[in-house]
Amino acid sequence: MKRFLGFLLVTVACASAQSIRYSAERKIWLLTTNHSSYAMGVDANGSLRHLYWGGPLWREQDIAAPTPRRDVSSFDPKQMLENEEFAGWGGPRYYEPALKITRENGVRDLVLKYVTHRIQQNELEIDLKDIRDAIEVTLRYRVYPETGMLRRNAVIRNRTNQPITVESAQSATWHMPPGVGYRLSYLTGRWAAETQLHREPIHEGMKVLESRKGHTGHAINPWFAIDEGSASEESGRVWFGALAWSGNWRITVEQTPYQQVRVTGGLNPFDFAYPLKPGEMLETPEFFAGFSPNGFGAASRLMHRFEREHVFPQSRLRPVLYNSWEATTFNVTEQGQKDLADKAAKLGVELFVVDDGWFGKRNNDRAGLGDWFVNPQKFPQGLKGLIDHVKGLGMDFGLWVEPEMVNADSDLYRAHPDWVMNFPDRPRSELRNQLVLNLARNDVKEHLFGVLDKLASEYDIRYFKWDMNRAFSEPGWPEETPAAQRKLWVDYVRNLYDILDRLRAKHPKLEIESCSGGGGRVDLGILKRVDEVWPSDNTEAFDRLRIQEGFSQAYAAKVMSAWVTDVPNMNRRSTPLQYRFLVAMQGALGIGANLNKWTDQDSALATRMIDLYKRIRPTVQTGELYRLLSPRTEDVTANQYVSGDGKQSVLFAFRHSQQYNLAAQTIYLRGLDEKAVYRLESVDNKLADREPELSGAYLMRRGLNLNLRGDFDSTAVILLRVQ
Ligand code: GLA
């Protein structure tokens, strides 16, 4: 009996720890994590219906089985009220479908019903099938109990004996709790002004966030957050998500006339058609989402932690980087680079990167792209001499590449004019004098893998900066049938991922940065495969504060490259060197300035700042970020990072422009232990409080005052927990 009781206890304990539970009797799934729950059920007609998404629930009996609804009118069918989890376009359904197809005979109706499911630890697969045909969809779910994140996508299979064409293939539809008054946060921008945070009320109708440009795009980033209308950094319920796809993507935010907000995202249906022959399948991108009961700050902290633990490649802390682009542009020479390397090493730089201009006939942006062999005039002995020099100085070596592109004036294009995407007898539009290779072609993919693999094998290269400096145009693939040509949008991205995955597997120490004219390719799909991303070509420090604020809504500081560059910069603005350093030190610090022009004082300050950065780097790159004061709304911008173990915290503060001789506002710290005592170290003596040690309670409730004066003043304070 005792043994039996013991066994029972163990089973009960396991069941309650289970993150995915299914009630066979009521056909309900409850996915539960530390931070959120998500519920679905099958109704009497066999439709899979969404039931709940929000804070954690523990009792599945609380969730009622989906009840049948009635048509409201002949214009308002019950289907519009039923919140189907993944709706096909068929029957009387007028909202944004998750899947739309055409059969060979022209029949386009698709009504999906539940068939079966499988649960394996934190993963759930639910099979749906059309009411008539063997067109099948597997919905894939994974829960991440520690952060409460959910991952969803879908696999669409044609098991009929006729071809079909997929016209819209989404990853997921997310339903908000029924009601109105929601607000959408999203990130917009353009070249040199990416990730600007916007918030606006959600009304009836549909808001479309998307890219049609072939890459993720500068204009909108594939991230959203929805709150009940009044959430702040630290309070309010927030539902948020991000799509892992670096090609044409779309997220629609729709409020139906029935007070239901639905978010549907996946492959952009614009110019989309994906033929599936009998037996073929299409898998949609992963869509990650989470829930925070404590505002936007907690939402992004959950996201950051999740990314560090489950998305990013598990690589070292980002080293301090020097990139020679802004110093030399295309005028790269072996001696010039060696001189810069000497200077960079003295400052404490750990990774020296040669940017554009080292290959082919690349003396400006009109020629050479595609010819990835070392320019013999600039580097008579190849790159080895420079790399040995850089390594001798104790730094790693990195190299810029832009594999997907070709100049018309290049040996590659002369040999393979058919390798670029094009429509026959139509213009091939050049942007920055370059054309886009059709990476959907496997011969192009193999060629590019070969080029990069050769470079990484021949030379001791630790790091590629992988650039992509234009969007697609004329996306034709003449070698394919007209019906299959539009696969290019998807297959291009798949092949890009394949090259990155293979390169990393073959060269495990190789690190990669994703750049696309700045932040044109920043998303969780590429971030699975690269170690950092370049948020913007705009390195002007004040503009950067807002770009970084937006970036941090969705992405963790570890992957955010941030450079110190020369002034005057964009907007003809000149900010002090310390200000520029402290702005850049909030991510993965790099320097892109022309070191040949720096004075001894500049170099001395830079050495001190780099030294300081190395002390706080683990906290910045792997700690928790608290956005205390926003550059969008305040004169002072303040961000605070707290290390995972709570022992170190660092506060960065920037004043835009003092007026009327007023003191800077008080800064209330967060994320500290109120009972603990912290020792304060100011980088430049701007602490108004003279006490060397202060309690967490005081720092969070009374706050800190900083002597920030004039325009573009800045400071940082390191806090060390002493008891
Ligand atoms: C793009 C990048 C820059 C630099 C140049 C080189 O503009 O964003 O950082 O690499 O290309 O041509």
Residue 37 burial (10 A CB sphere; 0-12, 13-18, 19+): buried
CA of 344 to the centre of ligand 1 (A): 20
CA of 517 to the centre of ligand 1 (A): 6
pLDDT, tens digit, 9 for 90 and up, residues 295-320: 999 999 999 999 999 999 998 999 99
Residue 317 and residue 353: Cα distance in Å, rounded? 17
Place 360 in a pLDDT band, splitting at 50, 70 and 90. Answer: very high
Number of H-type helices and E-type strands within the chain: 12, 36
Angle at 384 between CA 381 and CA 388, to 5 degrees: 130
Nearest CA to ligand 1 atom 5: 356
Mutate to test the pocket of ligand 1, among 402, 465, 467 (most ligand atoms within 8 A of CB): 467
Instruction: With a cut of 90, say whether residue 14 has pLDDT above it.
Output: no
**Model pLDDT, residue 601:** 98
Q: Which region among 8-17, 154-163, 291-300, 590-599 has the lowest average model confidence (pLDDT)?
A: 8-17
Whole-angstrom Cα Rg for the chain:
27
CA dihedral 417, 420, 421, 424 (to 10 degrees): -10
pLDDT, tens digit, 9 for 90 and up, residues 44-76: 999 999 999 999 999 999 999 999 899 999 999
DSSP SS3 for 135: strand
DSSP annotation of 68 reads P
Nearest CA to ligand 1 atom 11: 517
Contact predicate 693/624, CB 8 Å? no
- pLDDT exceeding 90 applies to what percent of the chain? 96
Atom of ligand 1 nearest to the CA of 365: 12
Residue 12 burial (10 A CB sphere; 0-12, 13-18, 19+): exposed
Instruction: With a cut of 90, say whether residue 694 has pLDDT above it.
Output: yes
Mutate to test the pocket of ligand 1, among 537, 539, 540, 561 (most ligand atoms within 8 A of CB): 537
| DSSP H/E element including 151 | strand 149-158
Query: Which residue numbers are catalytic?
Result: 467, 537
**Burial state string for 705-718 with b = 16 or more CB within 10 A and e = fewer than 16:** ebebeeebbbbbbb
CA of 625 to the centre of ligand 1 (A): 29
Q: Tokens representing 239?
A: 């539902």
CA dihedral 513, 516, 521, 527 (to 10 degrees): 0
**Model pLDDT, residue 514:** 97
Contact predicate 723/674, CB 8 Å? no
148 lines ligand 1 (CB under 6 A): no
CA of 288 to the centre of ligand 1 (A): 30
**Model pLDDT, residue 15:** 39
CA distances 544 to 224, 308, 344, 617, Å, are 21, 23, 23, 19
Residue 34 and residue 16: Cα distance in Å, rounded? 12
CA of 412 to the centre of ligand 1 (A): 21
Place 723 in a pLDDT band, splitting at 50, 70 and 90. Answer: confident
Place 689 in a pLDDT band, splitting at 50, 70 and 90. Answer: confident
Place 423 in a pLDDT band, splitting at 50, 70 and 90. Answer: very high
467 lines ligand 1 (CB under 6 A): yes
400 lines ligand 1 (CB under 6 A): yes
pLDDT, tens digit, 9 for 90 and up, residues 501-538: 999 999 999 999 999 999 999 999 999 999 999 999 99
**Model pLDDT, residue 568:** 97
| Residue found by looking up tokens 């089973």 in the block | 11
636 lines ligand 1 (CB under 6 A): no
Instruction: With a cut of 60, say whether residue 477 has pLDDT above it.
Output: yes
| Residue found by looking up tokens 């234009």 in the block | 470
How many Cβ atoms are within 10 Å of 719's Cβ, its own excluded?
Answer: 27
Q: Parallel, antiparallel, or unpaired: how do β-strands 636-642 and 624-629 relate? A: antiparallel
- pLDDT exceeding 70 applies to what percent of the chain? 98
Residue 260 and residue 415: Cα distance in Å, rounded? 55
Nearest CA to ligand 1 atom 1: 517
**Model pLDDT, residue 17:** 66
CA of 567 to the centre of ligand 1 (A): 18
CA of 535 to the centre of ligand 1 (A): 12
**Model pLDDT, residue 690:** 86
Kindly report the average pLDDT of the chain as a whole number: 96
518 lines ligand 1 (CB under 6 A): yes
Atom of ligand 1 nearest to the CA of 592: 9
Query: Before 568, cis peptide (omega within 30)?
Result: yes
**Model pLDDT, residue 491:** 98
356 lines ligand 1 (CB under 6 A): yes
Please name the residues in contact with 211: beta carbons below 8 A apart, sequence gap of 6 or more.
Answer: 217, 219, 220, 222, 247, 248, 249, 250, 268
Average the pLDDT over 619-638 and give the result.
98
pLDDT, tens digit, 9 for 90 and up, residues 428-463: 999 999 999 999 999 999 999 999 999 999 999 999
